Amino acid sequence: MTERRRSAVPWTGLLRGSRGAIAIPLLLAFLVLAVPVALGTMTLMDTLLVGSRTFEDILVRQYSASAGAEEAFWLVANDSSFTDLLTPVDPCGTTALQMNDQAVSVNVCGVYTTSEIGGQGVIATKSVIPTTAPVGVLTTFTYTIMLANESTDAVTIKAIFDYLPPGFTYVAGSTGGLTSGDPGTNLNNTKSCDVKPYRLFWNLESEGISLGALQESVMTFQATATLSEGLYLNQASVRYIPWWSPTGNSVDVYTPYTAEVTVGGGTPYCGYDLNVRFFKDVQPPTVEPGVETEFTYTISAENMSSGSRYVCAIDDRLPPGFTYVTGSAGEYPSNIDLAEPTLVWDDNSGRWLLNWGGSSGSLPPMVELAPAEIRTQVFRAMATPDPGVDYFNELSGVWSKDLAGGHCKTGGDDGGVAQGGVSGSSQVQVLMAYDIDASTGGQSVLSRVQLLGGGQFQILSWQER
């Protein structure tokens, strides 16, 4: 993107998005109204009177361009539909505004980074409607899986898995969106809430589905259930080939347990293969671009089963550009493991992997979790985020139901890997800046505005032409 010329002294005043009531139009309106009054007190030749009307007309057009820029400030800060089509691939959009009987053309360009976001790939999220159901009443649920390719290259979608809660049955012919074929199904061997749950599997290899850079797609389907009391949890996963895979090998990304359906009092937990779930929080979740920032991550492990479980290992993949703060894992009253993680650099994705407890072989238990117990691990990371990028974190952990010789049993029904997925709470959003060019009748205003959240913004530059 071509950098626009900024004014020598940036305007750094805060404007709170009070639509149509900010100081710029008032000041310019005063100038417009004052000009004819001042000129009327002078004895001027006819040519000068014509010149004064021309000058007045220029001021009106300049005022209208300024008012158009101000309106654009309010829109980018408060109306997502004004900017939701702007991406690093196509960062600009033009709209027409009517200001003071003047047609003002407003061109808005998102200020995105020009660098590639290495390693950041497909992010999957899941939702359900309705989110509550009465006890013992047959109910139809509509699930939506959202896929977002957060990398700057296309990816190939190979398969989608969905782990239905117990008691839910897929509705034949209900799949739509990314694909329309019915999934394969298989039953879990382990009962949850006295019922064996189904896993759904859509094999998409023959369809050759590609998700372009920074594109999104959805897949929907329906399931029915007659439920007893409980909190019914769902998880989905996507298998895809990332652009940065040197061998064309696929990777899986999981949603957290989500798309919750509450029936009655909402207890107990009911879901596919419920044992230990991992989730994550980051502070601060929103930052300014180009500013070195320290982030505090909290990893949580929750025992969702009715018996004791052991946490055996944790893998945390930092977002691209983030670096671990040495010694930070032992600085907090964490109650999983206070040891420093092993740092592994993934040259393909350009990201750091943090590992606690080893990656394979015989693993000693880090901590035992009682039923419904939650324990945490805290650490810090540093980064200078690029503009216009959301940074995601992936998390997985190894759990065990039983020990053998003091080590975790992680095979078969005794244990396995639980994917923490990518939850909104572990996503770092970088505040956006926009270049705005408002013009009418040959008069224009070039400006740059930085969003601050909550409808507030900061004007970084202002240039009238």
Q: What is the pLDDT of residues 9-56, one digit of tens each?
A: 233 333 333 454 343 444 444 444 444 444 344 444 444 444 555 556
Most confident stretch, 3-17, 62-76, 321-335: 321-335
Tell me which amino acid residue 194 is: D
> Residue 341: its pLDDT value, please?
93
> Residue 58: its pLDDT value, please?
72
> Is the CB of residue 417 less than 8 Å from the CB of residue 396?
yes
In this prediction, residues 343-352 reach a mean pLDDT of 88
The SS3 of residue 280 is strand
**Bridge partners, 146 (sequence order):** 125, 218
In this prediction, residues 276-283 reach a mean pLDDT of 92
pLDDT confidence band for 4 (50 / 70 / 90): very low
How is residue 217 written in tokens?
A: 């797609």
How is residue 197 written in tokens?
A: 């749950």
Range with lowest mean pLDDT among 146-150, 307-311, 356-360, 450-454: 356-360
Percent of the chain with pLDDT strictly greater than 90: 45
351 pLDDT higher than 60: yes
Range with lowest mean pLDDT among 13-27, 234-248, 368-382, 410-424: 13-27
In this prediction, residues 279-288 reach a mean pLDDT of 92
> Is the CB of residue 270 less than 8 Å from the CB of residue 231?
yes
What distances in angstroms separate CA 121 from CA 63, 97, 116, 215, one per listed residue? 45, 37, 12, 11
pLDDT digit string, tens, across residues 435-451 = 999 998 888 889 988 88
The SS3 of residue 11 is coil
- Which of 268 and 23 is assigned the larger pLDDT? 268
> Residue 53: its pLDDT value, please?
56
Q: 112-273 with 275-431: one CATH topology?
A: yes
Domain-wise residue ranges, the chain: 14-110+439-464, 112-273, 275-431
Q: Rounded to two decimals, what is the model's pTM?
A: 0.78
On average, the pLDDT of the chain sits at 83
pLDDT confidence band for 114 (50 / 70 / 90): low
> Residue 3: its pLDDT value, please?
29
pLDDT confidence band for 116 (50 / 70 / 90): low
pLDDT confidence band for 193 (50 / 70 / 90): very high
> Residue 417: its pLDDT value, please?
84
pLDDT confidence band for 280 (50 / 70 / 90): very high
> Residue 10: its pLDDT value, please?
31
- Which of 39 and 236 is assigned the larger pLDDT? 236
Query: Smallest Cα–Cα separation from 391: which of 76, 126, 151?
Result: 151
Which contacts qualify for 87-94: CB closer than 8 Å, 24 or more apart?
A: 87/112, 87/214, 88/112, 88/113, 88/152, 88/214, 88/388, 89/213, 89/214, 91/1
Phi-psi region of 7 (alpha: psi -120 to 50; beta: other; left: phi over 0): beta
The SS3 of residue 253 is strand
> Is the CB of residue 156 less than 8 Å from the CB of residue 251?
no
> Is the CB of residue 380 less than 8 Å from the CB of residue 363?
no
φ, ψ of residue 22 in degrees (nearest 5): -100, 165
Rounded Cα gap, residues 221 and 48, in angstroms: 73
What is the bridge-based pairing of β-strands 351-356 and 342-346? Answer: antiparallel
The CATH architecture assigned to 275-431 reads Sandwich (2.60)
> Residue 359: its pLDDT value, please?
60
> Is the CB of residue 236 less than 8 Å from the CB of residue 160?
yes
464 pLDDT higher than 90: no
The CATH number of the structural domain formed by 112-273 is 2.60.40.1510
In this prediction, residues 341-363 reach a mean pLDDT of 84
How far is CA 458 from its chain centroid? 23
